Amino acid sequence: MKEGIHPVYKEAKVVCACGESFTTRSTKPSIHVDICSKCHPFFTGKQKLVDAEGRVEKFRKKYAKK
């Protein structure tokens, strides 16, 4: 690896919009995110499934050859 061309990779603080914070390593000293694993619906179990019933039929009806 070449000397002097790599950025400084140091400890960084990540802050979520929900108030959760944790440390990781990055080239930036601090990172602000909108959603994290503490408030994301997939990880909290509050994910709502979107009802896709009828979408295929609607597509076929719209693009059916006349």
Residue 23's CATH number = 4.10.80.400
Q: Which residue from 35, 32, 53 is spatially nearest to 44, judged by alpha carbons?
A: 35
On whether residue 26 sits in a domain, the answer given is yes
Q: How far is CA 36 from the centre of its chain?
A: 8
Q: What is the pLDDT of residues 25-34, one digit of tens each?
A: 999 999 998 8
Residue 16, domain member (yes or no): yes
pTM attached to this predicted model = 0.54
Structural domain containing residue 35: 1-47
**HSE, side-chain direction, 13 A CA sphere, residue 24:** 10
| Helix, coil or strand: residue 62 | helix
With respect to residue 42, please indicate whether it lies within any of the assigned structural domains: yes
Alpha-carbon distance 26 to 13, whole Å? 9
Residues 1-45 pLDDT 10s: 688 898 888 999 999 988 889 999 999 999 998 888 788 766 666
How many distinct structural domains can be found in the chain? Answer: 1
